[in-house]
């Protein structure tokens, strides 16, 4: 999960490493994802998200589609 | 400390012996064999998880296995609890047994340094680097760079907001494959 200056830089990186293009997030989506994922991590009651909870968290910030699916 | 408050609350909530439902000898044995152990392990895991995080936050480095064993006074329970924590992928161990990752923190230096006040941490990736101020609820400076050309891309979090940042995040691996190769992901 890397930061890039632009989509052209993502394409250059994918070509360099012979990787298909993956999922793209805006920085704001990345920040919201970080808050969804980690803001409760210091709670004694924290537990890992279930598949459905994680997919719901992705959907809340607009990350939908096959790439973001965790369920088989 | 919150853990002690939790301990106190749990004791105060413990039902009196007389109020427990009466069970047959076999059932009592089953309950003793299953439920208490499960409760103890869940509690131990939470205490270990919080000990690791608090150590990392305060000292900017992960506790060693020896430090954790000294704190919990049981190498055996520690080893088993670490295995359980690692099963969630939030924690990952190095080959020498020390912590490599306690998400969102990396226990080893990475290309994602995060400065919070006068303390310095490392994220495992850009998601985790953003996760450190999200987790701590504090302002932060992330000295990131472009994954392609390595141009510096400074990110700042102020008062719960990501400020004036240009750039995009690319995740190369589909979500369901993230943990097949956590290092690459």
ipTM of the complex: 0.94
Q: How many CB atoms lie within 10 A of CB A49?
A: 16
pLDDT band, very low/low/confident/very high, at B109 (cuts 50, 70, 90): very high
Say yes or no to pLDDT of B98 above 70. yes
User: For A49-68, what is each residue's pLDDT tens digit?
Assistant: 889 999 999 999 999 899 99
Contact status, residue B155 vs residue B142, Cβ threshold 8 Å? yes
Contact status, residue A60 vs residue A36, Cβ threshold 8 Å? yes
Backbone angles phi, psi at A70, to 5 degrees: -105, -30
Q: How many CB atoms lie within 10 A of CB A13?
A: 19
* pLDDT given for residue B88 in this prediction: 77
Sequence-ordered list of residues with C-beta below 8 angstroms from that of B166, at least 6 positions apart, any chain: A5, A27, B153
How many whole angstroms separate alpha carbon A2 and alpha carbon A28?
A: 14
Where exactly does CATH 3.15.10.60 map onto chain B?
105-177
pLDDT band, very low/low/confident/very high, at B165 (cuts 50, 70, 90): confident
DSSP SS3 for A37 = helix
How many whole angstroms separate alpha carbon B123 and alpha carbon B133?
A: 10
Say yes or no to pLDDT of B104 above 80. yes
User: For B110-153, what is each residue's pLDDT tens digit?
Assistant: 999 999 999 999 999 999 999 999 999 999 999 999 999 999 99
* pLDDT given for residue B181 in this prediction: 62
> What integer is the mean pLDDT of B4-27?
37
**Cβ contact, residue pair A6, B174, below 8 Å:** no
How many whole angstroms separate alpha carbon B64 and alpha carbon B99?
A: 7
Q: Which two tokens stand for residue B118?
A: 């006068």
Say yes or no to pLDDT of B1 above 60. no
Searching chain B, which residue's CA lies closest to the CA of residue A28?
Answer: B162
**Closest of B60, B62, B64 to residue B121, by C-alpha:** B60
CA–chain centroid gap for B111, Å, is 20
CATH of domain B105-177: 3.15.10.60
Searching chain B, which residue's CA lies closest to the CA of residue A1?
Answer: B171
This prediction's pTM = 0.81
* pLDDT given for residue B180 in this prediction: 67
Mutate one of B169, B180, B182 to test the A interface: name it (highest A CB count within 10 A). Answer: B169
Mean pLDDT, chain A, integer: 93
* pLDDT given for residue B38 in this prediction: 55
């Amino acid at each position: 999960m890397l930061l890039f200056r632009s989509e052209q830089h993502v394409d250059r990186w994918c070509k360099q490493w012979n990787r298909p293009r993956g999922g793209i997030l805006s920085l704001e989506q990345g920040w919201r994802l970080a808050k969804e994922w980690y803001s409760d991590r210091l709670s004694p009651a924290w537990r890992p998200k279930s598949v459905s909870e994680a997919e719901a968290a992705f959907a809340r910030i607009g990350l939908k589609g096959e790439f973001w699916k965790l369920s088989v | 400390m919150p853990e002690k408050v939790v301990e106190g609350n749990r004791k105060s909530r413990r039902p009196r012996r007389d109020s427990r439902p009466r069970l047959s000898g076999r059932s009592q044995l089953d309950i003793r064999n299953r439920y208490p152990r499960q409760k103890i392990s869940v509690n131990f895991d939470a205490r270990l998880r919080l000990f690791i995080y608090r150590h990392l936050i305060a000292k900017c480095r992960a506790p060693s296995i020896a430090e954790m064993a000294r704190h919990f006074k049981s190498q055996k329970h520690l080893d088993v609890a670490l295995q359980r924590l690692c099963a969630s992928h939030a924690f990952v161990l190095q080959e020498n047994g020390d912590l490599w990752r306690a998400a969102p923190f990396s226990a080893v230096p990475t290309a994602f340094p995060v400065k919070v006040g006068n303390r310095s941490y490392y994220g495992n990736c850009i998601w985790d680097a953003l996760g450190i101020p999200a987790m701590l609820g504090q302002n932060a400076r992330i000295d990131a760079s472009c994954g392609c050309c390595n141009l510096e891309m400074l990110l700042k979090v102020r008062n719960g907001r990501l400020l004036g940042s240009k750039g995009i995040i690319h995740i190369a691996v589909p979500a369901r494959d993230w943990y097949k190769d956590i290092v690459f992901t």
